[in-house]
Amino acid sequence: MNPAGILSLALQTVVSPRDVARLLLSIRPGAEALWTAFALVVVLNTLVFSASHLLAPVPVPGVLANPAVFAAMQAAVLASTIAALTWVGGLFGGTARLRDMALLLIWMQALRVLAQALMALVLPLAPVLGTGVFMAITGLGLWILLNFIDEAHGLGSLLKAGAVAGLGLLAMAFALSIVLALAGVDPNGMAMNV
């Protein structure tokens, strides 16, 4: 897909997220393609995050200033979110498979790259406008996520999709906090066993 096609699909995602979810799910990419796309969005998000902090330095919590650590955290959060939304959706009678949720969340991360790049350009030039753009992007992201969850799981209700999103993100945060604690990272992001 060329850049124009990606931008067109991105705009279509905002306008009609269910149609895009159905389109993406109909593609049924193989495991290798999903893993490649997963790695690509993690790397691109890390590059845009790092570049935006070079352009407009703001304080970054502890170890997240290191791009390798940021990428690892990005990958862990994305993987655990995929697993949590798949699992919790199943508890609500959803039918999405892990690869279905992975495909949709990977696409959302690709959209996040575009949003981060837009924010990196707007925020230094017009902070007030940047705040408004950030709020709009956050709202659109939530709208897209709920529609993607509903479509993937076949729940038939944005309210159920909201419950899946809320409980799934809580489950993901809980699991991730346990993993970080076992790895020796305290809440301030510093290794406890140094």
Residues 111-138 pLDDT 10s: 999 888 877 777 767 767 777 878 888 8
What's the confidence (pLDDT) of residue 58? 65
DSSP-based three-state secondary structure for 191: strand
What's the confidence (pLDDT) of residue 192? 41
Tokens of 89: 């959706």
What's the confidence (pLDDT) of residue 178? 80
Angstrom distance (rounded) from CA 20 to CA 144: 10
Enumerate residue ranges in the chain where pLDDT < 70.
1, 55-64, 124, 127, 180, 183-194
Q: Which positions ≥6 away from 4 have C-beta within 8 Å?
A: none
What's the confidence (pLDDT) of residue 187? 57
Angstrom distance (rounded) from CA 193 to CA 60: 21
Q: Which positions ≥6 away from 135 have C-beta within 8 Å?
A: none
What's the confidence (pLDDT) of residue 188? 58
